[in-house]
Structure 1
């Protein structure tokens, strides 16, 4: 990217120009430099998030491809057995019928896996795109959206959601939560886990024992807001808290602590959909006996 080079050039111009330009001009150049530096930092953050999302998608694709490859290997073995039966005695007629059924079942299951993978990828992509398009540029500064291994993660900063040191929802969070709630309601086949997270600084309030309490109460506050204010079906919602024990950055500095103080809205396909996928696996000849 050319931004770093431009920043360096502005810095050099600013230094060389201190002796020959006015303080006003120098201040303008310094402001431009700072704006470009901030823009470069934002772009770098978006790039890193895209790389993480791509890595998660590649892992999911690899897992499904391995399942498909395993099914195709089994199909090849069945086909070889069928060929052997065709060259054997007349008693092979019954076995041939069974093998044909197994081959057809394997083919259908392979196609089912492919279709499931394509459907899951497509739904998550549409969900993510709809969500990011609905949020303003200002809201996106406090909201991070990622798809990892078929699960959509929406991470919300605590400064946007809550009053300082509290689990009460801030009035300013309403607009953002309403947009997220609409997306959740549009995808009725997904369950939603609301998970609170904190940094490692002990809480010092008489009505909250520790960070476990604070994180769980924050998750519960968002769940109740989604249910009572925005009409999300409570049967789809789960509230949880992980305290300080699921950090995504170091707690050694303020920047890391800020990233760790977050609430994640985790959107996943319902468990019965996975069980249905398992139930549709074809039976082998031995299992059918």
Structure 2
């Protein structure tokens, strides 16, 4: 997952409205740790599959060897004791590897299945016909990108009426997944802003994120324990801020819906330990 930059708020009223640097760093570190573990699990899986193929070849060889022994001697009517023992051991080892591979595959695919189901549910609720709303999957989490013109007026962090309609559909999905977390990221263009309330684009991006979070919590009934507001200012643009059209693309709110990392971390870790036995 892209490196997440969390705002260290510079004014008192922002200190309680956005995620702390420590919490954001913990989430980012945990996500990286889980991704590394998933990569290791995939390597383990590939090694096991290769070992499985080798065992299959060994079994085939033993079967052929025993068949040749039978055919070469009229007096030999059963497998030799040594050949039978080797064949039995190979078959038993193959069964154990198959079981471990199956368990690891289940652990790795469960996350993908949950993510796919979530994307399908979101597209059904939110709809995919609006070009200002984009739903996709990046690095195992679901991303909903909503254009600025659906949510706020220029330079404002007050949520508009149309935005609440869209957010209501997103909230319906979040409420159906109490074990998921929802990070709300505010993004701006690079046009400087400063007034009596906002110091800069950092302030604007965070205020927009916390405004969305308040709507989700207060108006749409989302559990606040699932919500994480964050501001990214203009440092993660979708396009160069060299035209009005590109700046409009960069002004957006991104809602990231993800299973709680600890759940999948524990699941994968358990299966990795079982595989190493």
Q: Please say whether Structure 1 and Structure 2 have the same fold, judged by a TM-score greater than 0.5.
A: yes
Q: Is 1:105–1:282's contact at 8 Å kept on the other side of the alignment?
A: no
| Residue 107 of structure 1: how far off its partner (Å) | 3.6
Q: Show the counterpart of 1:69.
A: 46
How high is the TM-score relative to the length of structure 1?
0.63
Give per-residue Cα distances to partners, 1:31-67, cap 9 Å, x unaligned: xxxxxxxxxxxxxxxxxxxxxxxxxxxxxxx967655
Q: Show the counterpart of 2:193.
A: 203
The equivalences for 1:26-65 within 5 A come to none
Bigger relative contact order, structure 1 or 2, given CA contacts below 8 A and separation 6+? 2
1:263 counterpart = 2:240: no
Give the Cα–Cα distance (whole angstroms) in 2 for the partners of residues 228 and 238 of structure 1: 15
| Residue 260 of structure 1: how far off its partner (Å) | 0.6
State which of 221, 231, 234 in structure 1 corresponds to 2:224: 234
1:187 counterpart = 2:177: yes
| Residue 128 of structure 1: how far off its partner (Å) | 1.9
Give the Cα–Cα distance (whole angstroms) in 2 for the partners of residues 221 and 258 of structure 1: 20
The equivalences for 1:1-289 within 5 A come to 66-73=43-50, 106-135=97-126, 140-271=130-261, 272-282=263-273
Give the Cα–Cα distance (whole angstroms) in 1 for the partners of residues 190 and 53 of structure 2: 55
Name stretches of at least 5 consecutive residues in structure 2 with no aligned partner: 1-37, 60-81
Q: Is 1:102–1:283's contact at 8 Å kept on the other side of the alignment?
A: no
Give the Cα–Cα distance (whole angstroms) in 2 for the partners of residues 211 and 109 of structure 1: 51
Task: Considering fraction of residues, name the structure with more helix.
Answer: 1
Q: Show the counterpart of 1:8.
A: none
Deviates further, 111-120 or 271-280: 111-120
SS, match of residue 272 in structure 2: coil
| Residue 193 of structure 1: how far off its partner (Å) | 0.8
How high is the TM-score relative to the length of structure 2?
0.66
SS, match of residue 231 in structure 1: coil
Name stretches of at least 5 consecutive residues in structure 1 with no aligned partner: 1-61, 83-89
Give the Cα–Cα distance (whole angstroms) in 1 for the partners of residues 92 and 227 of structure 2: 42
SS, match of residue 195 in structure 1: strand
